[in-house]
Amino acid sequence: MVAQQGDKLPVSAFAPDGIFPVATTQYEKRGVAIMVPEWIMDNCIQCNQCAMVCPHAAIRPVLVTEEELAAAPEGFEAKKALGKELKDKYRFRIQVFTEDCMGCGNCADICPAKKKALVMKPLATQLTREVQSQRYASSLPVREGLVKRDSVKGSQFYQPLLEFSGACAGCGETPYAKLLTQLFGERMVIGNATGCSSIWGGSAPAIPYCVNKDGFGPTWGNSLFEDPAEFTYGMFLGVFHQRGKLADLVRQAIASEVPAKVKDALQGWQDQMW
């Protein structure tokens, strides 16, 4: 479909329920930016603000061990990580996904370092080194949960579950949606109204929403301009009644002859379910 050959696909190639696979924007690699950021390692204060403001999740902090750094390709640099949770355990790097960057410069603008840690450079000067570094960085584990999740720095160590969208360069909407996925994404349900958010959020076959290592990510559905409230309220009612039915089954199980450990676990879930 990306190659404009969609008419060659038979109906049998599609899932009967119309569901598309997620995380397909990672395969587009548009390479449309004229200028992309270059990370100046010695100037970086490791605040992660650049990653937070990026509309396309095309710049991310990476934590690596000494062993992983030793096995990295040439040009893959990292400095000692700052912070009591990371100190003496990891090294830190900002990885630019140059082929996915749209060249807006938000990251370079937001950088608070006295000497800027991000400088915009022509795309052609960055591709050779950064593409192989990006591929290696993508193969490493996402080390989330080490720094407080609801902080600017800590949130950006969580995998963005909205990435490489086709939103305009410098989009002011996607950074917020992306941040929400880093804070709550594995349990998000999104009722989307038609508009920009349906174009960058669900234009087949390029789907930017994705899942974490456990297979959890945002559930997304799109409705019309005029009825997103009713559409999303219906989604809410569906979840509400499903959870209510589950609660009934849990109450029945608690009242039955089940092992004490199971009963305690079920009671704990019931007490906290809402």
Put simply, whether the predicted model's pTM sits higher than 0.85 gets the answer: yes
pLDDT of residue 258: 92
Buried b (16+ CB within 10 A) or exposed e, 236-270: eeeeeeeeeeeeeebeeebeeeeeeeeeeebeeee
Assess contact for 193 and 127: CB atoms under 8 A: no
Residue 193, SS3 per DSSP: strand
pLDDT of residue 14: 87
pLDDT of residue 191: 93
Which helix or strand (DSSP H or E) is residue 14 part of? none
CATH classification for the domain delimited by 20-183, as one of 3.30.70.370, 3.30.70.20, 3.20.20.150, 3.40.605.10: 3.30.70.20
pLDDT of residue 224: 85
Assess contact for 41 and 137: CB atoms under 8 A: no
Phi and psi at residue 231, to the nearest 5°: -60, -50
pLDDT of residue 21: 84
**Sign, Cα dihedral of 149, 151, 152, 153:** negative
pLDDT of residue 35: 98
Q: How far apart are the C-alpha atoms of 170 and 54, rounded to whole Å?
A: 8
DSSP code for 149: T
What do you get for the CA distance between the two ends of the chain, in Å? 42
Listed residue (157, 136, 134) closest to 83, CA to CA: 157
From first to last of its 274 residues, the chain has per-residue pLDDT tens of 878 898 999 999 888 887 778 999 999 999 999 999 999 999 999 999 999 999 999 999 999 999 999 999 999 999 999 999 998 899 999 999 999 999 999 999 999 999 999 999 999 999 999 999 999 999 999 999 999 999 999 999 999 999 999 999 999 999 999 999 999 999 999 999 999 999 999 888 899 999 999 999 999 988 888 888 999 999 999 999 999 999 999 999 999 999 999 999 999 999 998 7
**Sign, Cα dihedral of 220, 226, 229, 233:** negative
pLDDT of residue 156: 98
Q: How far apart are the C-alpha atoms of 62 and 142, rounded to whole Å?
A: 8
